[in-house]
Structure 1
């Protein structure tokens, strides 16, 4: 095959590579030094076309990883605020807390206090179309993620997150935010678990804060380790 390709012009070689399967393309890349650059370029193009990614801000270390990307590898990256908890992040993205713990290799919810960010699995891979992607390896998890950055999609309230009712409920959310010095989604989380009772929400937050203080994990710990 090497001899047959050596005499062909680059445009024709490119057309031949374009018709190869992912496996055959990787085999050609491994055996044909001359075609390595062309195979790598085609691998990246297939990644963009396959997933609808607009651009790549951080390329993978090896070009074959473009072809190895699967739907389960995509994740959002959420930067944790000083008062955010795993529960509030789960509520924000309409994701089960257990899923976040498993994805981020956390033994319990309090473990998020030692992190500066969390990875949230992308449930519908169609959501990454038009996004910017970055190939990253998480040292805490020991696995690679294809992180999609779409600020408008991530900031929107998830469909499953409880929305406060107009009037009094909206006022309760604001009061709880100021009282506990937490973000809106954390306030919503404690209100939902307190059945809309401000007193029950504050009591639940105090229990969690007390447990975090005893275990030595909390917002201050995260800031110190960041």
Structure 2
């Protein structure tokens, strides 16, 4: 799959003579298997690699709980879009948060729908579970060093906006993440976005990073998107990127 994507993008970039632009969007049910394949390819050479059947079982369960957890990244050339990456943010329910945010907590491979908030439910603790771009495609993409922060910002605002529209009385959320390489690309991404490393060592053996977002009352009663846009304003100002809700 990855080599086919790379060949297609290389040919498109060569024809256009410039790097390819990208977009992020939610996925639909019929695209879940595509997401699963991207998930496997992005993480196949990392500490978080899993067999496809394990990824498929977990993601299919989680999609049933809340499809908004899932998004794909596509590269564009003359209106033709090719999938090059994925984003997966999981809102945990109270049980999931109590078991994940603690020393020796849940491993990524143990996450299931049992620990996830269902669509329409509130979550105080969201996990930047998995996100990445196919390695073979990165050099062909425009502003590739800004792409993942853009995907994260848009996906996070999407999820929290939906939750706050149904729960305007809530005042804050926390976002958690972990990485095997704190000085690598994901570690730099977390630091750039305001995450702080905690003293908690998760079930996979890596420190948890935490980002706290306050939701002022005015925004909670009038709609969260303006305030969240202000919160992530520092990110968005430097991100030449547009968010697409879906087909």
TM-score category of the 2 structures, normalised to the smaller one: under 0.3
Structure ranking higher in helix proportion: 1
The structure having more radius of gyration, on CA atoms, is: 1
The two structures have a TM-score, normalised by structure 1, of: 0.22
The two structures have a TM-score, normalised by structure 2, of: 0.21
